[in-house]
Structure 1
Amino acid sequence: MRIPEETVDRIRQATDILEVINDFVSLKKRGSNYIACCPFHNEKTPSFNVNPTRQIYKCFGCGKAGDSVKFVMDIENIGYGEALRYLAKKYGIEIEEQEQTPEDLLRQNERESLLIVLNFAKTFFQEALQKSDEGRGIGLSYFRERGFTNPTIEAFELGYSFDQWDALMQEGLRKGYNRDLLEKAGLILVKEGADGRSPKTFDRFRGRVMFPIHNVSGRVIAFGARILKTDKSQPKYLNSPETTVYHKSQVLYGIYQAKQTVRQEDVCYLTEGYTDVISLHQAGIKNVVASSGTSLTTEQIRLIARFTPNITILYDGDAAGIKAALRGLDMVLEEGLNLKLLLLPNGEDPDSYVHKVGAEEFKAYIKANSKDFIDFKAGQWLAEAGNDPNKRAEGISDVCASITKIPDPLKRQTLSQRVAQVFHVSEQSVISEINRLLRKQQEQSQKDFDRQARQQTTVQNEPTVDELNALFADAGINGVEPAISNRTPVDAPGERIKAVRTPLSYQEEECIRLLINYGARELEPGITLCQYILSELHEIEFQTQPYDLILSLFREGYHRGDILTAGDFLNRRSPSEIEMQNQAIHLTTPRYEISEGWLKHEIYVPSEEEIGILADSAYRNILRIKKMLAEQRMTTLQQELRDANGKTPEEADQLLTEFMHYKRIDVEISRLLGTVISG
């Protein structure tokens, strides 16, 4: 279904980019903007910038940029229509969609289709739990035995799958979902028939209580399911397979329900199971997630890091729990997060213990018994070592090895003091051991690099045009066109793209930046910067896309009596205009702001918005553009003079006269710019 344009306008007007992005990453105010570590690439220092005034975001690390709709598209990897529906739901805007054409349906993204069918399955399981005799008698009874209340069941959208071969499949087919889509979503299985018989198709989940797995925005992307009857031929827990929308190493159970509290409490509790999360949530400890279905992964740690730098791992107190805690410890440290660990009493897990002692005592236990990783590891080693000096030395080395994972040198220095205190050794000996391990790691990294270099037998070229176009076609993008480059024309199949940034392109970019940010500013009464630049660049065309297109739009607007602003480019919507929007965001988002401390101490820093500075910037930019164009023409004329064979003396003289004309222009502009001219 297509969303009417007036509804799109309402969605965009209602959207607040800070609210949208805060659902996925914790923003911190810096000056007039907000910053965070980018959710699109791994980084330790924030380079992700959000401008609430212009309602745009820009990452100076990976280059991602856009508005609220584009952010949802990128973070959820969904199409434009689904992003609008997500925002409409968030802001309570009803969508009366228009019928799609067959072409529209063909363009619908498979990922969006999977999310829709998974939502159907979630609703089907919920209704089976609440409205059927089987669901109430088996599934709801089980949840009641676990102590789950109705609000908790609703918050996690728990459900039940009928103990039938194809109940879900039949309902899905009746509602118009095809078998192929149900299979791709991991909801049904197709088993090939033996001896030429027809394949059998049946539901993956049968006779189980259902735990929907949500992504950060609350969309159901998979299911976990627990069987309730005794059947040794069936696994106790069964999870969805990996699909286009579900990669278990990148997902944390409960992150959607926990994210706001994680941000508020500035700590995330990490457990192992579905019921651990649900029971703690119901007890009022809502900042809890689980790494269900997989050991803790780097991607899961980075997901937590979007909302807080502090993790406390809650694991069972048995040997398996200790082993699991130690396994995830170094990965958390490597990502630069602050880590604490808590082992529950032996034989207890978070679910059982919170039911045993209650919410308040459980919280008190966390506060009293959470240990930093040094105390945790040292306690394990000292208990094992006793009076054995060799074991103690092994323990010190093991703790030091964990410290080497921490990227911050200052934090490593501070922690080395703690290790010395805990093991009763000199701080210098700890520092020496840490340095020894760091050198060993560096040497190993160099050996690995050298080995890979020796194994590299062929030079890895850039992809061909054909290869890129094939990849882009799979992604729904039409053709290869570098965003900012002068591009060697490519016609022959297999020929390589050569994207080179020329000095002139930087000056063209600066000119467009001035136009977008200050075009309507008056340099003197009645003369705007836009008018000044367009008059000085009369009949000059830019050589770099998309700057030439933006310049043309400014000219068209000026001829209509209109001076374009940043908003005219930031609000571009169609796929063909995304690059123009990205360029506008890049050119309107300053990477740095003047420190408030400078203002506090009355340190004055001139702003380019001041008329004198702005006029001088535009003046010098135009001179540089004209100088570079003159130099280009001189280079061309020099080449023609070298190849003057076959030309008449008059033609050669004409070339020389033109060359001298541009040489005088070049010299005069150099004088105006104050640059040194070599003879």
Structure 2
Amino acid sequence: MRIPEETVERIRQSADILEVINDFVSLKKRGSNYIACCPFHNEKTPSFNVNPVRQIYKCFGCGKAGDAVKFVMDIENIGYGEALRYLAKKYGIEIEEQEQTPEELLRQNERESLLIVLNFAKTFFQEALLKSDEGRSIGLTYFRERGFTNPTLEAFELGYSFDQWDALMNEGVRRGYNRDLLEKAGLILSKEGGKVFDRFRGRVMFPIHNVSGRVIAFGARILKTDKNQPKYLNSPETTVYHKSQVLYGIYQAKQTIRQEDVCYLTEGYTDVISLHQAGIKNVVASSGTSLTTEQIRLIARFTSNVTILYDGDAAGIKAALRGLDMVLEEGLNLRLLLLPDGEDPDSYVHKVGADAFKQYIKTNSQDFIDFKAGQWLSEAGDDPHKRAEGISDVCASITRITDHLKRQTLSQRVAQVFHVSEQSVISEINRLLRKRQAQTQKEYDRQHDRASRQDTPQQEPSVDELNALFAESGIEGIQPTVPKQPLAPGNRTSTARTPLSYQEEECIRLLMNYGARELEPGITLCQYVLSELHDIEFQTPPFDLILTLFREAYHRGDILTAGDFLTQQASDDSIVQNQAINLTTPRYEISEGWIKHEIYVPSEEEISILADSAYKNILRIKKMLAERRMNTLQQQLRDSKNKSPEEADQLLSEFMHFKRIDIEISKLLGTVISG
């Protein structure tokens, strides 16, 4: 189905980019804009910029840019139409869709189709739980025994799968979903011989949501005793579900995580649900999988503080220690809490209640040094070798932290806990860093030697590859310079740029940002620039296209603004929209401290500065075009053996004409005059 244009425009007008992006990452105000660490690539220093006035975002690290619709497309990896539907649902806009042509249906994204069929399955399981006799007597009874209320069932969209071979499959086919799509979504299985049946049968269902609240997979718990069936069964990995990148409960928890500025991390579905129901809503689970770097980075979008809540038994301690170093390596502040032996978050919150549970967290959570040291000291007793091993183990965790100031502070803490000198702790940390650096260098050399023995020529390692190698040694990686903005849309790289292309880019930037400004009464910057460039065509395709649009609009009596380009539809990865974002998003702002102390910084918005910038930009464009023409004429003069004297004289005369232009412009610019 196709969305009518008037509805598309209404969605775009309603969507506030700050609200949309805040659903996925925590933004902090800086000047007139907002910043965050980019959700599209791993970084520890914010380079993701959101402009609420122009309703655009731009990452100066990876180059991602766009409006609210494009952001949803990028973050959810969905198509244009599905992003519009997401925003329409968020802002309560009803969509009366139009029939699509067969060609449009063929272009529909498979990812979108999977999300649609997974939503159907979620609704099917919900209705089975609440409206069928089997669901109420088995599934609902189980949830009631766990103490889950109706609002909780609704918040997590819990359900039940019939104890039948093909109940879901038959209903899906009846609704028009083909078996191939149901199988790709992980909802049905096919065996040799052609037998097809539901994956989840006779189980209570825990839908797994992504950050935006879309169902992307299911966890399922069997209720009857069957040694041939696993207790828990999860969806397989699909186009929309990668378990290492997902945290159970993140959709329900994200707002509270942001408000409380801390995330509680548990292991299981019921841990999350029980704590949420008790009022502790900033809690997520790794869903029974080992904690991954991607999951930690997902938490980091909303807070830099993590408290791990694990069972107090040996397995819980092991799980907590396993995830500790990864959390530190990603730059988050970490605390750990072990519950009383035999308890998990689900059982303990039911036993003591929400208030007592919160107080237990406050009283008993430890930073990672106290946690690790406590484990080692209880095991070591008076054994000096064990104590030394413990110190080395804690120091190894500290080396995962890239912040040098934090390392120094934590070194002091280790010395206090183990009753040793601070210098000995620092020496051990440095020893471990050198050791890891040597191991990393050895691994790099080994890989380089292997590559050099191959017949095919090898490329030098990229900055990202070197950083990946050195991350293991605790060394801050090479910091790449900000990439030059590509001339093509998105993040595709372009060919090497000419000096002229940068001047053309500057001209378009001035037009987009200040085209309607009057340089003197009755003369706008747009009028001045277009009159000076009336017989000039730009050499760089995107900028030539935009210049043509300015000319066409001016002939109609209009002056285009940045907004005219920013509202270009994102469905075709618009070159124009991407260039508009690149050219209207400043990377730096004047420090508030400078403003506070009344330190004056000239602004290009001042008429005298703006007029001078436009004037010099036009001179540089004309100078570079003259130089380009002179180079061409010089080449033709070198090849003039086969030309008549008259033709050679004509070439020389034209060369001298452009040489005079070059010299005159050099004088006006105050640059060295060519010899």
- TM-score of the pair, normalised by structure 1: 0.94
Distance in 2, matches of 1:455 and 1:626, equals: 52
Give the residue type in structure 1 aligned to 2:385. N
Picking from 254, 272, 275, the partner of 1:280 is: 275
Alignment partner, residue 132 of structure 1: 132
Distance in 2, matches of 1:12 and 1:574, equals: 11
Picking from 254, 260, 277, the partner of 1:259 is: 254
SS at match of 1:546: helix
Distance apart, 1:187 and its partner CA:
0.2
**8 Å contact from structure 2 (residues 487, 494) kept in 1:** no
Alignment partner, residue 149 of structure 1: 149
Within-5 A mapping of 1:251-330: 251-330=246-325
Within-5 A mapping of 1:145-294: 145-193=145-193, 199-294=194-289
Picking from 514, 530, 540, the partner of 1:544 is: 540
**8 Å contact from structure 2 (residues 210, 251) kept in 1:** yes
Alignment partner, residue 467 of structure 1: none
2:512 pairs with 1:516: yes
2:487 pairs with 1:484: yes
Alignment partner, residue 580 of structure 2: 584
Q: Residue 498 and residue 278 in structure 1: after superposition, are their counterparts in 2 closer, same or farther (change >3 A)?
A: closer
Distance in 2, matches of 1:88 and 1:453, equals: 52
Distance apart, 1:636 and its partner CA:
1.1
Distance in 2, matches of 1:574 and 1:185, equals: 27
Picking from 442, 445, 460, the partner of 1:450 is: 445
Give the residue type in structure 1 aligned to 2:519. L
Give the residue type in structure 1 aligned to 2:612. D
Distance in 2, matches of 1:438 and 1:530, equals: 58
Give the residue type in structure 2 aligned to 1:332. V
Within-5 A mapping of 1:663-674: 663-674=659-670
Distance in 2, matches of 1:352 and 1:100, equals: 52
Alignment partner, residue 7 of structure 1: 7
Alignment partner, residue 661 of structure 1: 657
Q: Which moved more, 1:576-585 or 1:20-29?
A: 576-585
Picking from 634, 644, 659, the partner of 2:640 is: 644
SS at match of 2:197: strand
Distance in 2, matches of 1:284 and 1:218, equals: 20
SS at match of 1:34: strand
Distance in 2, matches of 1:9 and 1:244, equals: 30
Alignment partner, residue 494 of structure 1: none
Give the residue type in structure 2 aligned to 1:134. E
Distance in 2, matches of 1:444 and 1:551, equals: 55
**8 Å contact from structure 2 (residues 37, 43) kept in 1:** yes
Spell out, residue by residue over 1:432-462, the C-alpha distance to the aligned partner (whole angstroms, 9 max, x if none): 1111111222222222222222222323589
Distance in 1, matches of 2:355 and 2:487, equals: 58
Give the residue type in structure 1 aligned to 2:119. N
Q: Residue 12 and residue 323 in structure 1: after superposition, are their counterparts in 2 closer, same or farther (change >3 A)?
A: same
**8 Å contact from structure 1 (residues 239, 293) kept in 2:** no
2:344 pairs with 1:335: no
2:429 pairs with 1:434: yes
**8 Å contact from structure 2 (residues 509, 584) kept in 1:** yes
Give the residue type in structure 2 aligned to 1:118. L
Q: Residue 498 and residue 587 in structure 1: after superposition, are their counterparts in 2 closer, same or farther (change >3 A)?
A: closer
Distance in 2, matches of 1:79 and 1:653, equals: 60
Give the residue type in structure 1 aligned to 2:247. L
Give the residue type in structure 2 aligned to 1:501. R
Distance in 2, matches of 1:644 and 1:575, equals: 52
Distance in 1, matches of 2:229 and 2:538, equals: 68
Alignment partner, residue 97 of structure 1: 97
**8 Å contact from structure 2 (residues 80, 571) kept in 1:** no
Give the residue type in structure 2 aligned to 1:252. L
SS at match of 1:317: coil
Question: Which stretches in structure 2 are left out of the alignment for 5+ residues?
Answer: 461-484
Alignment partner, residue 566 of structure 1: 562
Alignment partner, residue 110 of structure 1: 110
2:407 pairs with 1:412: yes
Distance in 2, matches of 1:581 and 1:207, equals: 51
SS at match of 2:526: helix
Within-5 A mapping of 1:313-392: 313-392=308-387
Q: Which moved more, 1:275-284 or 1:5-14?
A: 5-14
Give the residue type in structure 2 aligned to 1:210. M
Distance apart, 1:678 and its partner CA:
5.2
Spell out, residue by residue over 1:10-54, the C-alpha distance to the aligned partner (whole angstroms, 9 max, x if none): 111111110000000000000000000000000000000000111
Q: Residue 577 and residue 253 in structure 1: after superposition, are their counterparts in 2 closer, same or farther (change >3 A)?
A: closer
SS at match of 2:200: coil
Distance apart, 1:545 and its partner CA:
2.1
Q: Residue 316 and residue 91 in structure 1: after superposition, are their counterparts in 2 closer, same or farther (change >3 A)?
A: same
Distance in 1, matches of 2:494 and 2:329, equals: 37
Picking from 596, 609, 612, the partner of 1:616 is: 612
Alignment partner, residue 119 of structure 1: 119
Question: Which stretches in structure 1 are left out of the alignment for 5+ residues?
Answer: 194-198, 463-481, 486-496
Distance apart, 1:386 and its partner CA:
1.1
**8 Å contact from structure 2 (residues 663, 674) kept in 1:** no
SS at match of 1:499: coil
**8 Å contact from structure 1 (residues 483, 579) kept in 2:** no
Picking from 547, 556, 563, the partner of 2:552 is: 556
Picking from 457, 461, 465, the partner of 1:459 is: 457
Distance apart, 1:413 and its partner CA:
1.2
Distance apart, 1:652 and its partner CA:
1.4
Alignment partner, residue 473 of structure 1: none
Spell out, residue by residue over 1:580-610, the C-alpha distance to the aligned partner (whole angstroms, 9 max, x if none): 1011011000001001111110101111000
Distance in 1, matches of 2:329 and 2:578, equals: 33
2:609 pairs with 1:606: no
Distance in 2, matches of 1:71 and 1:594, equals: 27
SS at match of 1:407: coil
Q: Residue 440 and residue 640 in structure 1: after superposition, are their counterparts in 2 closer, same or farther (change >3 A)?
A: same
2:526 pairs with 1:530: yes
Distance in 2, matches of 1:442 and 1:328, equals: 22
Spell out, residue by residue over 1:521-550, the C-alpha distance to the aligned partner (whole angstroms, 9 max, x if none): 000001100011111111211111211100
2:590 pairs with 1:594: yes
Spell out, residue by residue over 1:175-223, the C-alpha distance to the aligned partner (whole angstroms, 9 max, x if none): 0000000000000000012xxxxx1000000000000000000000000
Q: Which moved more, 1:181-190 or 1:11-20?
A: 11-20
Q: Residue 160 and residue 498 in structure 1: after superposition, are their counterparts in 2 closer, same or farther (change >3 A)?
A: closer
Q: Residue 461 and residue 633 in structure 1: after superposition, are their counterparts in 2 closer, same or farther (change >3 A)?
A: farther
Distance in 2, matches of 1:261 and 1:330, equals: 25
Distance apart, 1:575 and its partner CA:
3.7
Distance apart, 1:579 and its partner CA:
1.7
Distance in 2, matches of 1:442 and 1:366, equals: 38
Give the residue type in structure 2 aligned to 1:637. L
**8 Å contact from structure 1 (residues 248, 293) kept in 2:** no
Distance apart, 1:655 and its partner CA:
1.3
Spell out, residue by residue over 1:36-89, the C-alpha distance to the aligned partner (whole angstroms, 9 max, x if none): 000000000000000011111000000000000000000000011110110010
**8 Å contact from structure 2 (residues 69, 570) kept in 1:** no
SS at match of 2:510: helix
**8 Å contact from structure 2 (residues 398, 407) kept in 1:** yes
Give the residue type in structure 2 aligned to 1:638. Q
Give the residue type in structure 2 aligned to 1:484. L
Spell out, residue by residue over 1:461-500, the C-alpha distance to the aligned partner (whole angstroms, 9 max, x if none): 89xxxxxxxxxxxxxxxxxxx9527xxxxxxxxxxx9811
Give the residue type in structure 2 aligned to 1:76. E
SS at match of 1:12: helix
Of all paired residues, the percent bearing the same amino acid is: 87
SS at match of 2:129: helix
**8 Å contact from structure 2 (residues 487, 579) kept in 1:** no
Q: When the two structures are aligned, how many residues end up with a matched partner?
A: 645
**8 Å contact from structure 1 (residues 483, 545) kept in 2:** no
SS at match of 2:541: coil
